[in-house]
Structure 1
Amino acid sequence: MNLDLVILTQKEYIQPEEIDNYAKNVLYEDELLVKAFQKQNLKVKRIAWDDPHFDFKSTKYALFRATWDYFHRFEEFSSWLEKVSKETILLNSENIIRWNIDKHYLLDLQKKGIHIAETYYIEQGATETLEELHKKWNLQETVLKPCVSGAARHTYKLHKNNIKEHESIFADLIKKEAMMVQPFQYNIVEKGEISMMVFNGKFTHAILKTAKEGDFRVQDDFGGSIQNYTPTPEEITFAENSIQACPEPPIYARVDIFEDNNGKIALSELELIEPELWFRKHPEAADVLAKAIKNKLA
C-alpha cells in the first residue's frame, strides 16, 4: 500500500512492553496526529525510523516525531538520513535537520538579528582546560554542553567550586566532539523557559517549563514541570521571526525562549527535528499541523 505519510518514532515506542510516562505521552500524541491526518483523508502509518523492512519509496512524506535515540546513534542516523532523503520527502528536510542538529546554527541566527544566549564555542580537539577558558572569557557561573545533544546529555553547571572536578569529563568529551559554554541564566531558574510551537511559520501554542527546586534543567527528565502559557505579542513575533531566519522554512518547529540576564527575550534553542510539541496540552494543534502538511501535499 502506498502511503501519504509515515510518522517516525524509535522502535521502543512502536509496541512498548512497559508503558511508562514517556511511552504514554508518545503513544497518545502520535494517536492524535494519526487521527488528524486521517481526518484529512491521508493514508498514514507509524514506523520506527530504523525499521530495516520498511521501503521509504512507498510513502510520499516522512514526519519526524519521537526519534529520540538519534543523538546516541548519530553516525548510524546520519547515514540513514542521507539514504532516506533520496527515497522520500522528509519533514523537516535533511538540509535543515543537519543545520539544526549542530548548535553552531545559533551563530547563523544571530547574524540575522535573532538575539541568542551569550555563547562561547570550544571546537573538537581544543587543549585548553575549563579553568583556562573561563579565565580567558571572564566567565563565572556557566553551563557546559555538547554542540550536538538532546535531553540535557552531558550538560553541567559550572562554578569556581566544582570546575576542577569536571576537567577530566571535559577533556574526554572535547576529544570526540565540539562543546559550548554559556553564562548561567538565572531567569530560567526563576521564571522558566517558554516553548513556542510554530507550524507553517505561524505560532500555535506555548508551554512554560520550570525546573524543580534545586535544579537548573527544565526538562521533565529531571523533574521539571510544564504548564500552558499565553505568550505576549512580542514573544510571538520573536518566535515567528526566528523561523523566518532559518535557511529554509520548516513545516514545524519549537522555539525555546527565555528572559536573559539583561532582561531581553533570547533564543535558547530552535528544535526542528524531533521536538516534543505537547499536543497532549493542545490536541487541536495536531489538526493545524495535519492541515499544513495536507496543503503541502496538494
Structure 2
Amino acid sequence: MTICAYVTYADFELDDERDLVPAAWREAGIEGRVERWDDPSADWSAYDAVVVRSVWDYILRREEFLAWARRVASVTKLLNPYAVLESNTDKTYLRDLGVPTVPTHWSSQGLPDWPEYVVKPSVSGGARDTTRTTDRAEAARLAKELEAAGRTPMVQPYLDMVEAEGETSLLYFNGRFSHAVRRSAMLAAGATAADNPRAQLRTPAPDQVELAEKVLTAIPHDLLYARIDLVRLPGGAPAVIELELTEPYLFLTYDPQAPARFATALRELL
C-alpha cells in the first residue's frame, strides 16, 4: 500500500482536519500517518510522499522549517514542492504574482495617505503581529519596529468591504476547483481569535474564479493544494490578499465531498 505522511506540528490537537484527511486517503488506497515536521526520529524516506499540512509554527522557525523541507525533498516526494514552500512562506511573493493584489507598501518610509492601515510582517500567519490603526504615524512606527527586528513590513489599507463581504477563499486540489468559503474579517471590530476561522460555503463569482485561475496557471509546479484568498477593492474588482500554498486550513469539513477530492488529487500526483 502507498504510505504518505500528514505533516503537522507540536500543537496538532488544534488541527481538526488531522483525522479527516488520513481517513479519506484510506478510502483512496493510501495509508496516512501523522508526523510532526520537527520530530528527529521520523524516517521521511519511508514515505511515498510527505504532505505538508498544519505546520503552523513555521512562522517562528522559517529557516529551520525550510532546511527540513530541503532534506525531505531529497529523499521523497514533498507536497507542495520545496520551491513553492520557499517562496510562499514569505509574503513578498505578492510583488511578483502579476495579478491585482491588495495595495501594499513595503517600507516604514513614505507611507501612503490612507484612512486606515494594517501593518504586519511579511512572514506571519493568523494575524500574528498584525495591527490595525487609523494613525499614519503609528503605522510608520510599527513598520519601523519590524525593520529594526530584521523583518520586512507590509503596510496595507484596511478595506471596509472585507467586513461587508468578507474574504473569499477558493480551494483547488491538483489544479481543480473544489469549493469556496466566505471568511469573516479577522480584524473586524470586536472580533477575537476564537471567532476565526468563521466561514460558510459560497459560490465564487466569475471574476473571482477568473483571477484565481490566472494565479494558478502562472505557477510552474504541481500543487496538491492551493487556497487563494480574495477581497474586493473599493471599486469592486477582486484582488489577491494572500496565496496559501504552504499550510492553509482547507475548510474540508464545510463540503462533504472535499476530503475525497483531496485524496483523489494526492493519488493522481503519486
2:104 maps to a residue whose letter is T
- RMSD over aligned Cα atoms: 2.2
Residue 147 of structure 1 aligns with an amino acid whose one-letter code is S
Which of 20, 40, 45 is the aligned partner of 1:57?
A: 45
Q: Secondary structure at the match of 1:7?
A: strand
Per-residue deviation, 1:167: 5.5
In the TM superposition, residue 223 of structure 1 has moved relative to its aligned partner by 2.4
**Deviation of 1:76 (Å):** 1.9
Q: 2:104 matched to which residue of 1? A: 119
Q: Is the 8 A contact 1:65 1:275 kept in 2?
A: yes
Task: For structure 1, list consecutive stretches of 5 or more residues without a partner in the other structure.
Answer: 17-22, 123-129
Q: Which residue of 2 aligns with 1:194?
A: 168
Partner of 2:120: 145
- Once the 2 structures are TM-superposed, how far is the Cα of residue 174 of structure 1 from its aligned partner? 0.8
Q: Deviations over 1:121-165 (max 9, x none)?
A: 12xxxxxxx4x522xx344422111111111111111323xx445
Counterparts in 2 of 1:1-298, with a 5 A limit? 4-13=3-12, 16=13, 23=14, 26-27=15-16, 29-110=17-98, 114-122=99-107, 130=108, 132-134=109-111, 137-160=112-135, 163-165=136-138, 169-175=142-148, 176-211=150-185, 214-215=188-189, 221=193, 223-224=195-196, 225-297=198-270
Deviations 1:79-125 (A, max 9, x none): 21222221221110010111111112112112xxx211111212xxx
* CA distance in 2 between partners of 1:192 and 1:212 (Å): 9
Q: CA deviation at 1:233?
A: 2.6
Give the paired residue count.
Answer: 268
**What is the distance in 1 between the residues matched to 2:186 and 2:159?**
15
Amino acid at match of 2:205: T
Spell out, residue by residue over 1:19-52, the C-alpha distance to the aligned partner (whole angstroms, 9 max, x if none). Answer: xxxx2xx24x222211111111112211111111
Identity, in percent, stands at 31
Contact kept, 8 Å, 2:73 with 2:82, in 1: the verdict is yes
| Partner Cα distance (1:293, 1:120) in 2 | 37
Say if 2:81 and 2:221, in contact at 8 Å, map to a contact too. Answer: no
Bigger CA radius of gyration: 1
CA distance in 1, matches of 2:230, 2:10: 31
1:234 deviation in Å?
Answer: 2.6
Distance in 2, matches of 1:212 and 1:117, equals 16
Give the gaps of 5 or more residues in structure 2: none
Contact 1:8 1:64 in 2 (8 A): yes
How much does 1:3 deviate? 5.5
Q: How does the TM-score come out when normalised to structure 1?
A: 0.83
Distance 1:82 1:4 in 2: 20
Three-state SS of the structure 2 residue aligned to 1:207 is strand
Contact 1:109–1:246 (CA under 8 A) maintained in structure 2: no
How does the TM-score come out when normalised to structure 2? 0.91
- Name the CA shift for 1:116/1:99 in 2 (closer, same or farther; >3 Å): same
